[in-house]
Amino acid sequence: MKRRAWFTWETQRRNAALADAFSCDYLCFNYDHQPPPLRYIFCTARTLSSVLRNRYDLVFAQSPSIILAALVALLKWPLGYLLVIDAHNIVIEQGLGGPWLIKRLIRYAFSQADYVLVSNAELCQAVVQLGGHPLILPDRVPTIESVASPKLIKNSKRPIITLISSFANDEPIESFVKAASDTKETFTLFVTGRRSKAGTSLRYEGEKIRFTDFLPHEDFDALIQHSDLLVDLTTRENCLVCGAYEALAVEVPVLLSDTNALRQTFSGASFTQNSAEGFRASLVSSLQHLDQHKQ
């Protein structure tokens, strides 16, 4: 039987789901707690060790990391495996308009890969421009086990809204949090993601708005299952956010940024303009129609 591996240097539900779907060894080397130089050294060393030791026939690699993609591309020819790169939006954007060295690394990795996976058709032409062979593979709706209500929301009599966040550059988190703090509606907004990345958004924390810090998978799953509304936002036009798939899995209403890609894929969601006025209006409307949305 052919040996397959899925390499990633960050924890993300898509990686585990697709590794399982393709019957791959799931190799997640996550050293986010380390400063960048050490993180890349540790991740590179473990990837090299695994690839050289196991002699895989088929290698998948998530990008980002760009360094991971370039590394497995460099090793492809001497080791003779098929290579598939799972390219996220930010990598394609950097390949088209990032710094010179980053563009060269991405173009090299894409040109060496047998296929470059993208989540929607709008990204295919960009992959071709970068020398790759695109293959469309949307996320799978994840399987999320039912768990008990987490302690942080037990006995809450307010509607629970969870803003799914990693505080990435394309997420208008502070704008949404400010809009939420300005509304007169009664609710508790939980903002996920590492507090260390929240920046000035933390100034809005209080009884109405709470920052959870990084949550282990089980705690995160419990929070989204027992929320009344999920929110996942992006300013990227062709980004299919993970929170939309997670909302489908736990059957909780979701509010998404109003982009063509998200509208076409998640027609049952609610949508908002990425503006303070849009966020306020969408929040009020969603809270007023929670029962209707749950149907």
What is the CATH number for 256? 3.40.50.2000
User: Which of 104, 136, 168 is the last residue before a domain boundary?
Assistant: 136
Give the mean pLDDT of 68-72.
98
What is the reported pLDDT for 244? 96
Q: Which domain holds residue 225?
A: 151-294
Residue 292 pLDDT: 62
User: Domain count of the chain?
Assistant: 2
Residue 142 domain-assigned (yes or no)? no
Q: Let me know if residue 143 belongs to a domain.
A: no
219 falls in which pLDDT band (50, 70, 90)?
very high
Tens digit of pLDDT for each residue in 169-209?
A: 999 999 999 999 999 999 999 999 999 999 999 999 998 99
Strands of the sheet with 134-136, listed across from one edge: 25-28, 4-8, 58-63, 82-87, 115-118, 134-136
Same domain, 132 and 9: yes
Neighbours of 140 (CB within 10 A): 14
User: Is 155 part of a structural domain of the chain?
Assistant: yes
Residue 145 lies in a domain: no
Q: Which residue among 136, 159, 175 closes a domain?
A: 136
Cα–Cα dist 115/127, whole Å:
10
Note the pTM of the prediction, 2 decimals. Answer: 0.85
Residue 145 and residue 110 in contact, taking contact as beta carbons nearer than 8 Å: no
287 in the same domain as 179: yes
Of 6, 62, 9, the C-alpha closest to 40 is 9
Task: State pLDDT tens for residues 94-110.
Answer: 999 999 999 999 999 99
146 part of a folded domain: no
The answer on pLDDT for 293 being more than 60 is: no
The percentage of residues in the chain with a pLDDT greater than 90, rounded to a whole number, is 78
- Which amino acid is present at 168? A
Same domain, 43 and 168: no
Q: What's the rounded mean pLDDT across residues 74-81?
A: 96
Mean pLDDT lowest for which of 37-51, 67-81, 152-166, 274-288?
A: 152-166
Same domain, 132 and 163: no
Rounded CA separation 177/164 (Å):
12
Q: For residues 62 and 14, give the distance between their C-alpha atoms in angstroms, rounded to a whole number.
A: 10
Taking the C-alpha atoms of residue 220 and residue 150, their distance in angstroms, rounded to an integer, is: 9
When mean pLDDT is compared across 11-20, 229-238, 262-271, the lowest value belongs to 11-20
